[in-house]
Structure 1
Amino acid sequence: MARTTSASRPEFSLSLLGRCILTGPDGAVSLPNKKLAGMLAFLACTAPDPQPREKLSTLLWGSHFDAQAKQNLRQALFKLRQILGPDALKSEGEFVSLNAAVIACDVSQFERLVREGGRGALSAAADLYRGRLADDISIGEEGWSEWIAGERERLSELALGAMVALGEHELSEGHADQALRTGQRANALNDLREDSHRLIMRALSATGRNAEALKYYLDVVALLKRELSTEPDLATKTLASELRRTHTQDVPPASAEVMSEASPPLALMMRGEKPSLVVLPFRNMSGEPEQDYFADGVTEDIITALSRFRELVVIARGSSFALRDKGMTSGQIAQHFGVQYVLSGRIRKAGNRIRVSAELTHTGSEAQVWSDRYDRPLTDIFDLQDDVSSSVAAVVDPAVRGAEIERARRKPLTDLSAYDLYLRALHHLWGGTRDDVTKAIDLLRQSLRLDQARTPTLAALAWGLVMAPPLGAHTPPGATTEALGLARRAVEQDGTDAFAHAVYGFTLFGPAGDNDQGRVHASEAVSLNPSSAFAWGVLGMIDSMGGDYENAVVCLHRSLVLSPYDSMLHLWMTGLTASYFALGRHEDGIAWARKSVRHNPGNGTGHRMLAANLVAAGRLEEAREVTQRRDAAQKTTIRDLRAMRFFKQNDVLERYLSAQQAAGVAD
């Protein structure tokens, strides 16, 4: 039941700019279906204005008979009241409205900030706009499609206008670099708005890059001609003329170059710290034109899957496909977009099988970072498309991250940014040893001192603090509370970050002991990014520790399939061997435990799980040898293992501790 007072904030918050996320006092709230989410989104966007019931039923059930549509509406309103409490919805005869005192929506906050118009308000509005309105809600009704399309366009235009206005403020205050970044953010939303292009040109000029601004103008000319068959408007042409005059005055006559449309293209992409990537349309090598749709479908799905990884900047499908028939090499396309990585691939059909080959290249060094091929039977074409695209995306993300980590490790210690420190920390964070996690925590704290608001860094530090005790690393008093606070901040800052939700879920489940809510956040992580091996792994570990062993096996195997070369494999393998121990499948447990300790010899829990499975399988001497080897590296007692409480179910925990005693672990 909803509880509010005149002095309190609304009990629920609804994020609609990007994915639809409902949050209550205890964390994320799951909505049963898309239509219920759609109704809540519509009422939130139109609040506090009352909406006719007939409009709601037409919006969401317009293809049904009137009686059925009205019945569906009544059921949906009943379910919403069950979730939000009786005070959340106001009913006045044939009209329904949402009570803003009970539920706050980011759309209304965004619109209020845009109306305020000051620099601080515009900056907050730009940060609040995380993507298209309710991007994950798809409802096959004409009324819904018309409304959502109009609202998405309206809010996108508001966001673009806010970003351009913010950039103008930054320029007037002498912050040209910030103005440039803001203009590039606006341009990433819609690269056909000339006011954002003019902002970028002026910002480039203000930072002393006048020639670059002129080259940028030529790209705008080419873009508008290609996409709209038009020329820049008078304001853009006038600005270019002013820049040419300035450029001619600043550059000595002997070295001045005449700007022409033959100048090389200049990237229209952001120059941020995040690694950027373009996926080229996969080539159909089968010689069958009808297979083109499959190649395009795989490419589009890979782009969609990669865009869910928040640490990657991925060029949109419309932009990368637009250059397919332009006769450009992959290097030229990469230069055009200003990206560091190019993913390309080929698809070949032979009989009743499909082979997909893919490779990832670093554009600066032209080095191949990763390549692989996928052979699949040609059964259900759509399942095949999903399988291949999710598999490729899941492996590309850690491959890019690994390359970026190596780049950061080669930089001088005196030239490390917050992002470089974060990357260096990741190398140690996934190392899985006591020394590694200690170094990771130190580097992440240094990174946060330089940038206190990076969501991935907050989540990574929370993970390090949670993993330190099982690895035998020293943590200060209050580390559990700190980890919980960091993970919560990460989710609050970006409710669409799968990594943040997974870490928060594990932190709630393990150290905080909030089992149900921890699993809610881990499940949300999988929903946000089904290609994230980390999200599947964390959900599997939670189920392994929490007692849903069969589902744990499914989730953990999914993680291993998605990212078979990941540095986290030892942890997911440990979850598997623990689940098999609980299920009584001890030979399977032994096999996975051996793989876990081979992958990471410092994995103490992997050794203990190996010993427990060996005891349960009747191989007592082998189990005692494992315990002796592990105790020589780090001695652990039964009391320690009981305190760690890997298994939440008492009967399984007691079986596990009994096996450890038999294997020679001291009391």
Structure 2
Amino acid sequence: MIEPASCPKFTLSLLGRFVLTGPNGVVSLPNKKLSGLLAYLACTAPEPQPREKLSTLLWGSHFDAQAKQNLRQALFKLRQILGHEALEGHGELVSLNATVILCDVGRFEALVRDGGREALSAAADLYRGRLIDDVNVGEEGWSDWLAVERERFQELALSAMAGLGERELAAGRADQALKAGQRANALNNMREDAHRLIMQALSATGRKAEALKYYQDVVALLKRELNTEPDAATKALVAELRRAQTLIESAAVSEIEISFPPAPAPMMAVDQPSIVVLPFRNMSDDPEQDYFADGVTEDIITALSRFRGFVVIARGSSFAFKDKGLTSRQIARQLGVQYVLSGNIRKAGNRIRVSAELTHAYDEVQVWSERYDRSIVDVFDLQDDISASVAAVVDPAVRDAEIKHARRKPPANLSAYDIYLRALPHLWGGTRDDIMMAIALLRQSLTLDQMRTTTLAALAWGLVMASPLGATALPETLVEALSLARRAVEQDGTDAFAHAVYGFTLFGPVGDNEQGRIHCLEAVRLNPSSAFAWGILGMIDSMGGDYQNAVACLQRSIVLSPYDNMLHFWMTGLAASCFALGRHEEGISWARNSVQQNPSNGTGHRMLAANLAAVGRLQEACDVTRERDAVQKTTIGELRAVRFFKQDEALERYLTVQRMVGVAD
């Protein structure tokens, strides 16, 4: 049966990477200029384009006769691949036949013009990245046109996402509005309408304190990047939020004072653990330190609320118990939480000592405790430093405690969350057997609960890590990883872990460096206390060539979580960055630490050998290679395919020293 002329034979995706798909799958064009020519005709369709304009656009640096000949050959080649009816010629004019090739840019613009909620949602989904992000023609005319069009389409996407968010907010779907605002912000974090949308959505979901904290971040961003202040609309919104927050906290205090103390309540019957941060006690003689203690407590609550592994009781409720003379266990039962974080602050001269303790309220077992000694230089910086440090360590402490509880449960009573917890130690184990076990458990967890964001992201991470560990190398595995990571971000655009995993998946297996880094930057913005987010951003920069920033990010991750299961991974990134920067002695130190943390870390061994060889310690480097090859042999071809260094110069230097130390081609 002959296909009707109205049914397109090909689809062309330009929003993001260039992908041409035909009846038999993806169609690869022989060179970038053919891709550029087809993309330009698709973007300008249905308007016919002069041949002279096309030849100048794509071959402007050639002589006029040669440029025209190149255009004729290119059009001939496209007709060979797509069929003669795909391109229509009218003398000196050429146009794309939309009945043969359906392009996403036309549909995208039509959806934005429609302006309805469904249309804007579809438009936002259709915008997968910068226009033809992977086509580089190298002609001035092309570059000028592409820069203008990329900006135009990005503005259309931003308007679609902001408009969608406003409609979702008006319909009472604050969670969906928040996702739309965060997607817009990930594209351009200088748009105040997106920032306002995020604050309004946070407020509508009952997270007014987080909305106000977010505003402070926006103030700092605008000052740093543009040396300006938020506009009048943003300031008016924040003034309204502050008034509402004051009323809520006053009501919370009054309610507890009137009804207190009620009968003991049962532990909170939710799958996730919950935690209350009690106001830190001022142990100094100076009553003014009360303000500092309260400020640290508030910042810890805000920092912990950015983690999605547990529920954090809001400031109004925790501060309502201040000076009530109750024990931690009584307060925990009153609020129905499993964990209590408490602490005290003591000032002596120009130093501050902060002690913190995390307790499991049900059995009164101490889960974690730490002491922080700091010099007083800038009070606000000190407050931020302490709150970030405490929050970063409390997250894995709660997780480890929950894992222990899950292990004690009978197999028949395991929930999706329990199975997820049992998978985590294997996920970070760093061996082939561990990662296979983690993948199996996470798949089992998802069969019970397909909507858990952290499980989706964790499984995506496991599948990405499976390939370098030799557990799997199938392309379908990486496609599944990308799909899972994208689902996690779409499901909860505020989850820093999900953004970091999605960013690394886009950067590594997919090769979309810019979009990958955007998501990792969003992860750090969403949760500045997340050692994982900082670590993944550092690994992307280490592999991508921004070695100085990689060192800063990876060191930040280690400072935030000095006993983390991922230390070997971050240390490998530091060893690689130091190799690329020529700081080989530092690279040796980091690589040795990496191998010590995880003796199964093959890349750590390779980085150790590379840095040793670079300083002339060839025999030691050869010994490291032989020891590693005895466990898992690697070839130059495999190292080139993994492409730890995306920059050719660093990669070739790395492969050269690997040959020197005995790695076979």
* TM-score normalised over the length of structure 2: 0.69
Q: Is the 8 A contact 1:106 1:128 kept in 2?
A: no
Task: Give the Cα–Cα distance (whole angstroms) in 2 for the partners of residues 128 and 480 of structure 1.
Answer: 37
TM superposition shift of 1:574: 0.3
Counterpart in the other structure of 1:547: 545
TM superposition shift of 1:365: 2.0
Cα distance change of structure 1 residues 431 and 637 upon mapping to structure 2, 3 Å threshold: same
Q: Is the 8 A contact 2:587 2:608 kept in 1?
A: yes
Task: Give the Cα–Cα distance (whole angstroms) in 2 for the partners of residues 297 and 336 of structure 1.
Answer: 24
Which residue identity lines up with residue 26 of structure 1 in the other structure?
A: R
Answer yes or no: is 1:616 the counterpart of 2:625: no
Cα distance change of structure 1 residues 385 and 581 upon mapping to structure 2, 3 Å threshold: same
Q: Secondary structure at the match of 1:510?
A: helix
Cα distance change of structure 1 residues 84 and 403 upon mapping to structure 2, 3 Å threshold: farther
TM superposition shift of 1:337: 0.9
After the TM superposition, list the runs of 4 or more consecutive aligned residues in structure 1 that deviate by more than 3 angstroms.
1-15, 80-89, 110-115, 126-134, 137-154, 189-193, 222-227
Counterpart in the other structure of 2:168: 109
Task: Give the Cα–Cα distance (whole angstroms) in 2 for the partners of residues 386 and 511 of structure 1.
Answer: 35
Task: Give the Cα–Cα distance (whole angstroms) in 2 for the partners of residues 13 and 662 of structure 1.
Answer: 61
C-alpha RMSD of the superposition: 3.6
Task: Give the Cα–Cα distance (whole angstroms) in 2 for the partners of residues 87 and 590 of structure 1.
Answer: 47
Cα distance change of structure 1 residues 426 and 137 upon mapping to structure 2, 3 Å threshold: same
Counterpart in the other structure of 2:284: 286
Deviations 1:60-112 (A, max 9, x none): xxxxxxxxxxxxxxxxxxxx9995659859xxxxxxxx976x85423413433
Task: Give the Cα–Cα distance (whole angstroms) in 2 for the partners of residues 598 and 544 of structure 1.
Answer: 21
Counterpart in the other structure of 2:98: none
Which residue identity lines up with residue 421 of structure 1 in the other structure?
A: I
Counterpart in the other structure of 1:446: 444
Task: Give the Cα–Cα distance (whole angstroms) in 2 for the partners of residues 103 and 11 of structure 1.
Answer: 14
TM superposition shift of 1:490: 0.8
Counterpart in the other structure of 2:350: 352
Cα distance change of structure 1 residues 85 and 263 upon mapping to structure 2, 3 Å threshold: closer
Task: Give the Cα–Cα distance (whole angstroms) in 2 for the partners of residues 337 and 650 of structure 1.
Answer: 57
Answer yes or no: is 1:591 the counterpart of 2:650: no
Task: Give the Cα–Cα distance (whole angstroms) in 1 for the partners of residues 331 and 545 of structure 2.
Answer: 50
Task: Give the Cα–Cα distance (whole angstroms) in 2 for the partners of residues 618 and 492 of structure 1.
Answer: 50
Q: Is the 8 A contact 1:344 1:360 kept in 2?
A: yes
Q: Secondary structure at the match of 1:368?
A: strand
Q: Which is worse superposed, 599-608 or 405-414? A: 405-414
Which residue identity lines up with residue 369 of structure 2 in the other structure?
A: S
* Aligned with 1:576 (options 559, 574, 577): 574
Cα distance change of structure 1 residues 151 and 432 upon mapping to structure 2, 3 Å threshold: same
The count of residues paired between Structure 1 and Structure 2 equals: 500
Counterpart in the other structure of 1:303: 301
Which residue identity lines up with residue 394 of structure 1 in the other structure?
A: A
TM superposition shift of 1:491: 0.8
Counterpart in the other structure of 2:127: 25
Within a 5 Å distance, the mapping from 1:368-517 to structure 2 comes to 368-517=366-515
Task: Give the Cα–Cα distance (whole angstroms) in 1 for the partners of residues 405 and 306 of structure 2.
Answer: 23
TM superposition shift of 1:632: 1.1
Q: Is the 8 A contact 2:253 2:317 kept in 1?
A: no
Q: Which is worse superposed, 623-632 or 145-154? A: 145-154
Structure 2, unpaired ranges of 5+: 1-42, 44-103, 118-123, 132-147, 175-200, 220-229
Task: Give the Cα–Cα distance (whole angstroms) in 2 for the partners of residues 592 and 327 of structure 1.
Answer: 49
TM superposition shift of 1:327: 1.2
TM superposition shift of 1:427: 1.1
Q: Is the 8 A contact 1:345 1:357 kept in 2?
A: yes
Q: Secondary structure at the match of 1:495?
A: coil
Which residue identity lines up with residue 351 of structure 2 in the other structure?
A: R
Answer yes or no: is 1:525 the counterpart of 2:523: yes
Deviations 1:499-527 (A, max 9, x none): 01100110000000011111111111101
Within a 5 Å distance, the mapping from 1:238-317 to structure 2 comes to 264-266=263-265, 271-317=269-315
Deviations 1:31-72 (A, max 9, x none): xxxxxxxxxxxxxxxxxxxxxxxxxxxxxxxxxxxxxxxxxx
Cα distance change of structure 1 residues 593 and 130 upon mapping to structure 2, 3 Å threshold: farther
Q: Is the 8 A contact 2:256 2:320 kept in 1?
A: no
Task: Give the Cα–Cα distance (whole angstroms) in 2 for the partners of residues 86 and 524 of structure 1.
Answer: 17
* Aligned with 2:656 (options 643, 654, 658): 658
Q: Is the 8 A contact 1:88 1:103 kept in 2?
A: no
Task: Give the Cα–Cα distance (whole angstroms) in 2 for the partners of residues 12 and 377 of structure 1.
Answer: 58
Task: Give the Cα–Cα distance (whole angstroms) in 2 for the partners of residues 87 and 665 of structure 1.
Answer: 49
Which residue identity lines up with residue 330 of structure 1 in the other structure?
A: S
Q: Is the 8 A contact 2:352 2:373 kept in 1?
A: yes
Q: Is the 8 A contact 1:10 1:103 kept in 2?
A: no
Q: Is the 8 A contact 1:13 1:24 kept in 2?
A: no
Task: Give the Cα–Cα distance (whole angstroms) in 1 for the partners of residues 399 and 407 of structure 2.
Answer: 12
Q: Is the 8 A contact 1:13 1:23 kept in 2?
A: no
Q: Is the 8 A contact 1:277 1:341 kept in 2?
A: yes
Task: Give the Cα–Cα distance (whole angstroms) in 1 for the partners of residues 633 and 269 of structure 2.
Answer: 49
TM superposition shift of 1:5: 4.3
Task: Give the Cα–Cα distance (whole angstroms) in 1 for the partners of residues 248 and 572 of structure 2.
Answer: 46
TM superposition shift of 1:348: 1.0
Deviations 1:464-522 (A, max 9, x none): 01111111213544011111111111111111110011001100000000111111111
Percent of aligned pairs with the same amino acid = 64
Counterpart in the other structure of 1:326: 324
Cα distance change of structure 1 residues 145 and 622 upon mapping to structure 2, 3 Å threshold: same
Deviations 1:128-177 (A, max 9, x none): 965558933456667544445658999x9xxxxxxxxxxxxxxxxxxxxx
